[in-house]
Every structure is written in C-alpha cells, then in structure tokens.
Structure 1
Amino acid sequence: MSTCFITQPIHPEAIRFLQEQGFHTRLASQPTMDAVIAEVGDAEAIITRDLGFSAAAVAAVPRLRIIACHGSGTNAIAVAEAARRGIYVTRAVNANSRSVAEMTVALMLAAARRVCAADAAVRNGNWGFRYEGAGIELHGKTLALVGFGAIARDVARIAGLGLGMKVRAWSPSVPDDVFVAHGVERIASLEDLLRQADVVSLHRPADASGQPVLDAHHLDLLGNHAIIVNTSRGSAIDTRALRDRLVAGKLTAAALDVMPHEPPLPDEPALSSPAMILTPHMGATTQEALIRMAMMCVHQVMDCLAGKVPAHVVLPSG
C-alpha cells in the first residue's frame, strides 16, 4: 500500500478518495518542517500547502516520488533538490483562480467603501461614521492589472462586465491575442499603466532579483485617489513605501491578502498603516477551490505512482 503524507490539512473529500483508491494517508502532527521531517517516514508521495517541502525534507524520504503542491506557488519547495533525485514536483494550476479573483474584487469594494472601518465604527457606537467621508464608486473607474494571468483575466471579467470598470493591463509575457480575446487594453509599460490607474491590482510576483514589482518610484506615479490591492505575493510590493504614502495621504487605501512574511513580523509596516485592509492569505480559501486543488493533487499523485507523468510538473529554474 502506497503512503501519501500530507503536511497540512486538505479537503476531506480528497483524503477519502485517496483512501478509497487504496492509499494510506498520514497527516503531519504540526504544520512545521521539523514535524514533517520527523514523521514523513517512507512516504512515496507528499501533498503540501504553503509550508512547502525543504531540501532537508526531500533528503529525509528515501522512497519519495512526487511532491504535489496544493496551490500554484512552489517557491517554498526544494524543486532543484527534488529534480536531482528524479522526484516530480507538481502544482495545482488555475484551480483557485476564480476564488482569488472574487477575493480581489471583494477587497477592491471593501477598500473603496471603507467597509472594515465602517464595521468597527458601528461596533464602537459611532453611527456618525457615515458622515465622516464618502466612499468611492468603482463604476467607470480605471482598473490597472499588473500581470495578466488566469486570475487577472477573471478579475477583468468581473470588474469590467459586473462593475463597469475600464480595464487595462500590463504583462510583458502574455501574447497580444489574449488581451484582445478578453477585451482588455494592453498598456506597453508598467509606468504608463500606473499613471492611468484608479485601482491597481497586483497579479505578478517579484522577479528573481527579489525586487518588488511596485516600489516607492512606482507608487509615486499614482494619484492621491488610488487604491491598491495585492492578492499575488507579499514580495510584490514594498509595504514600507506603501505605508508611508498612505500616512501622507498620497494614496486613498490599500488591501493586502498577502504579506512579505507570513504570518507578518511584529514590525511589518502594513500592521501600523491607516486605510489598510489586511487578510490572512485567504484568497483561495473557498470550499470550491479547496476541493479543486486537493483533487488535482490527488490525481497527480495517483498518476505518478501508476507510472504516468503527472500534469503540471514544475522544472527547476535556470
């Protein structure tokens, strides 16, 4: 009987399905790499979430054949070390795109209408909050999408067709015909895109250099009325520069579902920022997305252990 070791809880339907197919499943006692290394044993397959799977963990599993990532980001997985051992690393491509897109739009609306601050005001007896500053209507505003992958395309549909926003995007890697097919205007440079933006939504991680996509220079291209939303990666934006501009009134609001360190460090600038909505990397956390991601991982594991090449294999960079 093959063993699939799971580093963090996944949807129970996927676990039941694995067991029905004759697999033995084990869950780490704690979502830490130390616990994983101590407990993984002779597993042939791993399903991991944001914990990832380190090089030390790879070295600790002699029979390992596949590491299936319950999501699209594999930066916390030792992909190169796995490849040296002939171990597949896979990811759950586009399984959570719609859920993250809906979270993006929810954060846009919450920031534009000051929903979190209004909730806190009512709970604190301040019904007069409604007179303390008007919100912003998104209809007719320009949405600037930084990156134009699957999530951004879903955001474009929801915001364009549902909210009547003017959607523009920048991506150096997406072909022109994709922009045409989605009815989104392609902007040639990130700087030009930001100069036009009322709302900026980040859908592109930092590059290999570690430099954020939006740094102080880019933030200064935005108008005082602008709103920023990040549901991509915490490293995509300089949160200190973002905080400073919110304090100075050079931006209207921001909403982050991702942070440079997760959980955030005590001195994380975003934690002390006004007009900032923070959520705990929950964009993909819907019942529907969790089932899709878990089942995609399960089928990748089953294919691998049946001698097939699983879908969505990740190769080492460089």
Structure 2
Amino acid sequence: MKQVCISEFMDADAVAALDGCVRLRYEPAWVDQRAALLGALAEADALIVRNRTRVDAELLDAAPALRVVGRLGVGLDNIDVGSCEARGIRVIPATGANARSVAEYVVTTALMLMRGAYQSHAAMVAGQWPRARLSDGREALGKTLGLIGFGDIGRTTARLALALGMQVVAHDPALPDDHPAWRDAGVVPMTLDALLASADAVSLHVPLVPATRHLIDAGRMRAMKRGAVLINTARGGIVDENALAAALHEGALAGAALDVFEAEPLGGGGVLAHAPNLVLTPHIAGVSLEANARVSMMIAQAVKQALGVQA
C-alpha cells in the first residue's frame, strides 16, 4: 500500500478520502518539526504540503521513494521544482481552487481601504467621534482597480470588481494585448507604469521570481496615483516592506494590506509595526472554509490518481 505523508493542515473530508486507500500519516505539526518530518519520509510515496514546508534537496534526500508532492495552494516557491523534476517527482498544485477566496479578499480589502472607515474602533471606544475625519472615504463605483498579473486569480478578481461598477486594468507581460482573455474579461491591458499612474487600488498576482522581487519598490510607489491603496496577496518580497512603511508614513499611499511577507511567520515589531493605514493578515487570503475544502479534495484526488490508487 502506498504511503502518503501530510505535513500541514488539510480539510478533514479530504484526509478521510485518503485514509483507507493509502498508509496515511497526517501530522500538521510537522511543518514546525523539521527533524521529525525528515525522519518520517523514508518510505513515503507522496507528500502533501502547504506553503511553509520546505521541499528542498535535504528533504528529497530523506525521501528516496517519493514520487508525488501535492501542494495545497498554487505558489511553488517553497518547493525545489527543478530537483523534483530531476528525480522524477511530480509536483501538483491546486490550480484555480482558491481563486474565489483570494478574489473576495482583494475586493473586500480594496473597498475597506478606499472607504477608510473601518479602523476607528480604538478612537470610538476611547470616547472620540471621528466622523469628520472619516467622511471623505471613497466609493468603488467608477474607481479603477489595477491588477499586476492576470491569471486565474486576477481574472476572478476582475469579475467581482466589474460587478461593483469598477473599471479594471491589468498588466501581464505573459499575455499579448490581442489575447482573447482581455476581451472576454472586459479588462484593459496596460504597461506597468501606466497602470500604477491610473489605478485607485493596485493588487498583486504574480509569483516571486528574480524579476518580481521588490517589483513594487520606493520608485514605483512614488509613481502610483496619489491616494491609491496597495494589496499584496501574492508573495512576500514582491513589495519592498521598508519602502511601503515609508510611503504610508509620508501619506503617499492612502493605505495598504499585506497578506504575505518577506519572512513568515511575521515577527513582532519591525518596520511595519507602526505604519498607519496598514492591514496585516497571516497568509490567509486563499484560505476560507470553502477554499480549503476545494483545495484539499482536489489534491487528495490528484495524489491518488498520480499514485494509481483506487478509492
């Protein structure tokens, strides 16, 4: 019987779908117990991870029987894909399964940041009445959402924003301007500079590769429309966190939200600790009850198929 190890949390129904047809070891704590994980992989045919388990040469050396890595999500920067391919190990991401969750996070957060009225709790309970200060929030209707990256998540985000009456523009050098995706979505392709200059809200949907590291740096933040907001649900490192903190302190940006960080988990203190109009969440944009169920079941079924296991 094939052995499957799971090192991070997975939906219970998907775990049950694997249990009984494989030798299953489900230990979500392994993500923080590296030695225990490596010690458990000697006979593993498949490993299922999220974004924190490092599937690197050290892990692959500890798993000589490994044939499949299932990724509960879409980003692969924690997985050495080249080394997996060289060893004949198939890497399976959950492409598309969490797009709706991320898209709803992005649109909700853009609305919240543009309205600017939802961080008044502390002032209110302190007896203040900041009505005048919070009366200049902006509506979504007619505002421009700029998407950097126009894959599954970007296109789902565009549909939600268009339904609210927003205009949507996007930059994706992998898609030529005559690609039918633009016309089908009703989205205008733009250069990166033009998008930054025109968008009221900018959302990032690109992988972290050398070309995108600190893509949004101090210079590009200065190039953004005055009063714009920035949302990063893609990968930490795409936004220069030091430059973002400075832009928020200077008022160059009206607000920002980060769901991903250069170092995860995010430590206490640091440059972001006292930045104004900043929303921080712990890499959960793509993790809702529904998305977790979809992602988990997709990977459970894909891993079984890859291993030739019958339900």
TM-score by length of 1: 0.90
DSSP-derived class of the 1:68 partner: strand
| Letter of the 1:166 counterpart | Q
d(CA) in 1 for partners of 2:309, 2:108: 42
| Greater Cα shift, 200-209 or 133-142 | 200-209
3-state secondary structure, aligned to 2:147: strand
TM superposition outliers: structure 1 runs of 4+ over 6 Å: none
State the shift of 1:267 in Å.
5.3
Helix, strand or coil: the match of 1:131?
coil
Query: Is contact 1:45–1:66 with CA below 8 Å preserved after alignment?
Result: yes
Please give the residue correspondences for 1:1-318 in structure 2 after superposition, counting only pairs within 5 Å. Answer: 1-20=1-20, 22-28=21-27, 29-32=29-32, 33-52=34-53, 53-126=55-128, 128-134=129-135, 135-161=137-163, 163-175=164-176, 176-187=179-190, 189-209=191-211, 211-266=213-268, 268-306=270-308
Q: Deviations over 1:65-104 (max 9, x none)?
A: 1111111011111222222221111111111001100011
Q: How far is the alpha carbon of 1:41 from its aligned partner? A: 3.6
CA contact (8 A) 1:58 1:78 kept: no
Contiguous gaps of at least 5 residues in structure 1: 309-318
Shift of 1:249: 1.2
Q: Does the CA contact (< 8 Å) of 2:75 and 2:207 recur in 1?
A: no
**Structure 1 residue 122, shift from structure 2 partner:** 3.2
Tell me how far 1:210 sits from its aligned partner. 5.7
- Separation (CA, whole Å) in 1 of partners of 2:280 and 2:75: 20
C-alpha distance in structure 2 between counterparts of 1:8 and 1:91, whole Å: 15
**Local SS of the residue matching 1:137:** coil
Check the 8 A contact 1:207/1:213 in 2, yes or no. Answer: no
RMSD value over aligned CA atoms? Answer: 1.9
TM-score (norm 2): 0.92
Q: Is 2:77–2:208's contact at 8 Å kept on the other side of the alignment?
A: no
Range with bigger deviation, 26-35 or 103-112: 26-35
Paired residue total:
304
Post-superposition offset of 1:307:
8.3
- Distance in 2 of aligned mates of 1:279 and 1:36: 27
The answer as to whether partners of 1:168 and 1:193 remain within 8 angstroms in 2 is: yes
The worse-fitting range, judged by mean Cα deviation, of 99-108 and 117-126 is 117-126
Letter of the 1:233 partner, please give it. Answer: R
Q: Is the 8 A contact 1:199 1:226 kept in 2?
A: yes
SS of equivalent residue, structure 2 residue 170: strand
Structure 1 CA distance for aligned equivalents of residues 304 and 193 of structure 2: 46
1:194, distance to aligned residue in structure 2 (A): 0.8
CA contact (8 A) 1:146 1:204 kept: yes
What is the CA–CA distance in structure 2 between the aligned matches of 1:282 and 1:85, rounded to whole Å?
A: 32
Partners of 1:211 and 1:30 in 2: CA distance: 29
Determine helix, strand or coil for the equivalent of 1:80.
helix
Gap runs ≥5 in structure 2 = none
Q: Distance in 2 between matches of 1:170 and 1:209?
A: 14
